[in-house]
Structure 1
Amino acid sequence: MIHKLEHIGVMVKDMDASIRFYTEVIGMKLVKRKALADGVELGFMSFPDSDKIEIELIGRGHDGLPDNGLVHHIAFTVSDIQAEIDRLKTFNVKLMDETPRTILEGDLIAFFFGPDGERLEFFQPASQ
């Protein structure tokens, strides 16, 4: 039986830059960082008030990303999507959506990019 989403693994080029992005821009905290014997470095990120879902940053140094793929996108629930988009602009984050898009039954979404081109999404449910 599957109980919950454990973590999402994202391949990154620069662990320090990615940790900085996920802490300063997204508001997560670094839970654990570990260099493995095979040259891989791991960084586990979660939100300060919840450790139920983690993002696992997986890095091999500055020699580029492997060709086995990045995650398509990671979505974060927000309460005020336009305010979050405006906040991203202060960090000069590359945006796919300058304004929120409406999907399904009035939910709002906006996509933007992390430091390694990973696609990230803000999601504001209609039922707020």
Structure 2
Amino acid sequence: MIKKIEHLGIAVNNIEEATKTYEALLNVPPYKTEIVEREGVKTVFFECGESKIELLGATREDSPVGKYLSKQKEGIHHIAFFVDDLKSEMKRLQSEGFQLLSEEPKAGADGKSIVFLHPKSSHGVLVELCEDRT
């Protein structure tokens, strides 16, 4: 079951510059910076009420975020929803006709296990489902 919006992912060309911008906007420093080598991305997380903002900067051009930024402008990349049981939610959504981008959850940033839904399944929005890694 989807519990809440966990975070909004924002793709940026210059993560250091964007970090300064969001520090000023939110009036708080980021609580975590992390590189996810497998995905070729550097992430910076800010708390924002009950949710979070995740800045995404490509560490290589051929990464998913690098490819996204080569085709799109900076901006909202995905919306992430927190779930209690990721595998059960994956099965439920597949039965509802949603297309998953991977068959198994992956280790994501900020201590989460994640899976993405294909944007074609959700009216052009890349949706991430996540749960705390155990």
Normalised TM-score (structure 2): 0.43
Structure having the higher Rg: 1
Q: Is the helix fraction higher in 1 or 2?
A: 2
What's the TM-score, normalizing by structure 1?
0.45
